[in-house]
Amino acid sequence: MTGLPAGRKGRVCRRPTGQHVLPAPGAAASDSGAPPVLPCAELHLHIEGTLEPELLVRLAARNGVRLPTTDLAELRGRYRFTDLQSFLDLYYANLPVLRTEQDFYELAHAYLTRAAAAGVRRAEIFFDPQTHMANGVPLAAVVAGLSAALADGSARHGISADLILCFLRDLGAAAAAETLAAALPFREHFIGVGLDSAEVGYPPALFRDVFARAAAEQLQLVAHAGEEGGPEYVWEALDVLGAQRIDHGIRAMEDPRLVDRLRAEQIPLTVCPLSNVALRVVETLGAHVLPVMLSRGLRVCLNSDDPAYFGGYIDDNLAAVRRELGLTDAHLATLACNSFDACFAHDADKQRWKAEVDGYTAGAAPSPR
């Protein structure tokens, strides 16, 4: 159904030669006979959204933070959402358990260990400093803990990872500007800025000045748009903020002129299917626009967003779209190559990772079970 878009730069991943089986969630590539895992980059991942109930309860006990319940099943039972805001309410309510550099280290370490098993070679990880600073945590502790985990993830798992600082759009533009000013002393610890939290009512244009300031610091620019907000949010993110990547962007499909632009400029869209279902942005996974996005030649890649809350990590997203949308190995290889093309790593690394996708699709995997 899909082909790689014409005119795409760089090497073109080979189409698969045979059927492959996506590994069971959590299965790691190994030389012990386990199925190989599709290599990919994860570009839309909120580190705060990887806070699994087990770690939540452990950190709450360690830091003397009261939770409404410490029963894991009950906690998981609360992970039912009606929209983005209903999720954000719970997500923010859980975050006071993160207090120390060690807590942030453990959070990111757990994610990177899980991501390595899922085939992630490159992770560009969002963090929300405003939430932690409001909870009384010094930005230095947040940055030090996360950065130490990233260094460890590189040493232990070979994962290349960087941080992207997100502004909470519902706190407004002045707060975003203050946050950037507070973060600039830690400039070498993050590669870009993003825009997240409640979307509708907080259009990208509000953040024009702070994005311009970030651009002047040679920071990469990304923004959530077109998750709950309409196509006009995507236009603004591109034209007013200069966003290089759009996070979600699925509502862009409602505007044919925007689709043409996204295809012509090969602007990456970091789509999060399980998130979209959990937040009822789409009714069912089977109704997701991902296959249409692929068939229109958009540079779309798969991501997990907040995996502890939405039912799975990036490999779970891949398995789900294969199962529910009938995506083939060729589609998955395209998604993986797109993720590498869309990432902010050095070109030589991108080429090396895409060659790994070639190796995967060339028949490294065993025949179907």
Q: Which residues bind ligand ADE (CB under 6 A)?
A: 46, 49, 84, 196-197, 224, 227, 275, 305-306
Token representation of residue 16: 């698969």
Question: Smallest distance, Å, CB 118 to Zn ion?
Answer: 17
Question: Which CB sits closer to ligand ADE, 37 or 98?
Answer: 98
Task: Identify the helix (H) or strand (E) that includes residue 239.
Answer: helix 231-239
From the list ligand ADE, Zn ion, none, partner contacted by residue 227 (C-beta under 5 to 8 A by kind) = ligand ADE
- At 38, the amino acid letter reads L
Nearer to ligand ADE, 50 or 160 (CB): 50
Which of residues 103 and 227 has its CB atom nearest to ligand ADE in the complex? 227
Backbone angles phi, psi at 242, to 5 degrees: 75, 30
Identify the residue whose tokens are 């998981």. 76
- Shortest Cβ distance from residue 318 to Zn ion (Å)? 18
Calpha distance 316→29 (Å, rounded): 15
DSSP annotation string for 112-137:
HHHHHHTTEEEEEEEE-HHHHHHTT-
Burial of 177 from C-beta contacts in 10 A (0-12 / 13-18 / 19+): middle
Which stretches of the chain bind Zn ion, using CB under 5 A? Answer: 305
94 contact choice in Zn ion, ligand ADE, none (CB below 5 to 8 Å, kind-dependent) = none
- Nearer to Zn ion (CB atom), residue 48 or residue 305: 305
- Partner in contact with 197, chosen from ligand ADE, Zn ion, none, beta carbon below 5 to 8 Å by kind: ligand ADE
The residue number whose beta carbon is nearest to ligand ADE equals: 196
Q: Residue 49 binds which entry of Zn ion, ligand ADE, none, with Cβ cut-offs from 5 to 8 Å by kind? A: ligand ADE
CA dist 186 and 180 (Å) reads 10
Closest approach of Zn ion to the CB of residue 196, in Å: 5
Least distance in angstroms from the C-beta of 240 to ligand ADE: 18
Q: Which does 361 bind (CB under 5 to 8 A by kind): ligand ADE, Zn ion, none?
A: none
Q: Which residues are catalytic?
A: 227
Our CB check for ligand ADE shows the closer of 121 and 248 to be 248
- Shortest Cβ 339–Zn ion spacing (Å): 15
CA distance 337 to 319: 17
